[in-house]
Structure formats: C-alpha cells, structure tokens
Amino acid sequence: MLTNENNSQISLPLQVHLLTLCPYSAAFGEDENLFLSMQFDKLLGLNILNGRPAYLALYKQPPTSCQTPGKMLPGGYTKSGKWKPARWTPLKTDKRAGK
C-alpha cells in the first residue's frame, strides 16, 4: 500500500501490483541494434549483416521455392444439385523454408 502526504493509505488497482519489468527487454534491445546495423543488398535481395546474409524468419534456413503438383478434381453433384464435371487444377509455386 502507498501513502500520500497525509499518511493515509491509497489503494491501487490489482493490475498495478502485478506489473513487473519484462525480463527480455535487454534481448529486445540487442535485436534492435542488429536490425539497425543491417544493410539491404539490392543485387541479392537480402539483408546483409557483417558481410553475411541475414534471414529474419522463423526458420534458420533461407526460403526455397517449392512446387505443388497439379491434380484432377473429381466431378459430382454440388449442394444445390447441379452436376459439375471433373476439372484439372494447375500446379502452384510457393516459397517455404529450406529443407
């Protein structure tokens, strides 16, 4: 409990008692310093940190392009009772983390 100049107690909300300093604030500062020291290389299309590519992603490996093969979707009746013929879905290219 806190007291004011009249020595009467001041009640504070419960949230104030539960507030503490984040233990990871130093790590956030280090990440910010790393981010500020990076430079973008237009030729590579990547951020460069100390002469090496820096991948700011959830994975430690650079992204690679991956192709999902096309396939045949079967024909059938829809919910409204109409007939839809079978159709071919083309392949798709996406970027995923390296394997």
Supply the range of the domain harboring residue 68.
Answer: 61-99
Task: Walk along the chain (99 residues) and give the pLDDT tens digit of each residue.
Answer: 566 667 666 676 666 666 666 666 676 677 777 777 888 888 877 778 788 877 655 555 666 777 888 999 999 999 999 999 999 999 888 776 655
Q: What is the pLDDT of residue 77?
A: 96
Give the bridge partners for 64, in sequence order.
Answer: 96
| Same domain for 65 and 52 | no
For 65, the token pair is 């392009």
Residues 17 and 45 in one domain: yes
Q: How many domains does the chain have?
A: 2
Q: Check whether residue 44 and residue 23 sit in a common domain.
A: yes
Cβ count near 38 (within 10 Å): 15
Same domain, 34 and 71: no
Give me the pLDDT at residue 75, please. Answer: 94
Query: Do 48 and 4 have their domain in common?
Result: yes
Residue 53: phi and psi, rounded to 5, are: -65, 140
Q: Give the Cα separation of 4 and 30 in Å (integer).
A: 39
pTM over 0.85: no
CA distance 27 to 39: 21
